[in-house]
Chains A and B, each alone.
Chain A
Amino acid sequence: MLTIAVLLRFMDSFMIYTEPIVLTGGGPGNATTLLSIDLVKVALGQFDLGPAAAMSLVYFLIVLLLSWIFYTVMTKDEATT
């Protein structure tokens, strides 16, 4: 139960978008341009659709991989779930 809760929080904070875009819009400079913001900028700001699609996939794989590692490490000693 705790594992899932932590995992969900972990995933949610990895894909954060709303708070930085509303508060700073990615600035000052590039200080708060997170992956999600950068991706939207490339895709819908500059319309570089090919690179943006590639970025999407890599981004997705990063989250998936980290979540998987996280999940396996955290459930290693509890056989349930």
Chain B
Amino acid sequence: MRRFAWMVPALYIAFVLVPIYWLLNMSFKNTNEILGSFTLFPRVFTLENYVKIFTDPTWYGGYVNSLKYVLMNTALSVVVALPAAYAFSRYRFLGDKHLFFWLLTNRMAPPAVFALPFFQLYSAIHLFDTPFAVALAHCLFNIPLAVWILEGFMSGVPKELDETAFVDGYPFWRFFLRIFVPTIAAGIGVTAFFCFMFSWVELLLAKTLTAVDAKPIAATMTRTASTSGYELGLLAAAGSLTIVPGAFVIYFVRNYIAKGFALGRV
């Protein structure tokens, strides 16, 4: 029995990787081969799908737009969540537990609920169809998440560190930026990763709050699927490319990610 124990994770990994393999596989085929026959690997190896994406501005523009608002949102979420998480982790104040749980309820709110008010509000103040609109909207679920993860990491740092620094005469902001932030650098990395990921895969708000100029890649992909027939190869290539930024970011935090899952209750 024990000899076959390795098969359980192996099967699971295969189960998870097969769709990704299939996506890559499809992205190197042309449409005829995808629709015509069932092939485990591309018979006619073609790069034209990728060439199309990298030469057509409506395609690569989608990636640029997505990256713009995702990076903005990640920076904003981490910067706002750092002091908030510090307060929740170090101080006891009236209703702190309730406020902390209330943050979680922000994550309960379905994005569909907020699509309408955001849409009207941003149209009124001319933020509609800019990356700022999406970046701000995504703060709705990313800031609570960031606070929860960072609070977990901060509570892992003993309070004596703060007290020693204050006894040594550090002003608060100097201590916070010079000592505390480097101490929880791994936590910040993990938080940034999760913010990046959730903002990157979110479709509803990103699609609703943009029209032409700031159209994200996910919205570009849904459009192509519905209008100009089924360019499955192109779609698969675009899908494979959307995996790249996440994989790139996860590389930097790969050693801390499990801790982030545990602490952030993601």
| B: contact size bracket | 20 to 34
Q: A19: shortest Cβ distance to chain B, in Å?
A: 9
- CB atoms of B112 and A36 under 8 A apart: yes
Interface residue SS majority, chain B = helix
Task: Point out the residue from A15, A35, A40 that lies within 8 Å of B208, measured CB to CB.
Answer: A40
Do residues A14 and B266 form an inter-chain contact, with CB atoms below 8 A?
no
Contacting residue for A44 out of B110, B208, B218, CB 8 A: B208
Q: How far is the CB of A73 from chain B (nearest CB, A)?
A: 16
Residues of B close to A63: CB separation below 8 A: 108-110
- Chain B 69-113 interface mask (CB, 8 Å, partner A; 1/0): 000000000000000000000000000000000000101111111
Asked whether, in the complex, the Cβ of A40 is within 8 Å of the Cβ of B112, the reply is yes
- The A/B interface has a contact count, at CB < 8 Å, of 79
Q: Is A79 an interface residue (CB 8 A)?
A: no
Check A1/B108 contact, CB under 8 A, given A18-B204, A43-B116, A60-B113: no
Q: What 1/0 mask marks residues of chain B from 211 to 232 whose CB sits below 8 Å from any chain A CB?
A: 0000000100110011000000
Known contacts: A36-B110, A43-B115, A44-B116. The answer to whether A22 contacts B222 by CB under 8 A is yes
User: Contact partner of A39 among B107, B113, B202, B262, CB < 8 A?
Assistant: B113
Check B265 against A8 for contact (C-beta < 8 Å).
Answer: yes
Q: Residues of A within 8 Å of B, CB-based: how many?
A: 29
B246-265 interface bits toward A, Cβ cutoff 8 Å, 1 = contact, 0 = none:
00000000000000001001
Q: B119 within 8 Å of A by Cβ? A: yes
Chain B nearest CB from A34 CB (Å) reads 9
B116 touches A52 (CB 8 A): yes
Q: Chain A 1-29, CB within 8 Å of chain B: the 1/0 string?
A: 10011001001001101100110010000
Given known pairs A22-B225, A25-B226, A53-B116, the reply for A8 and B110 (CB within 8 Å) is no
- Chain A residues near B108 (CB, 8 Å)? 11, 63-64, 67
- Closest CB in chain B relative to A17 CB, distance in Å: 5
A–B pairs, 8, beta carbons within 8 Å: A5-B265, A17-B204, A18-B204, A40-B112, A43-B119, A44-B116, A56-B112, A60-B110
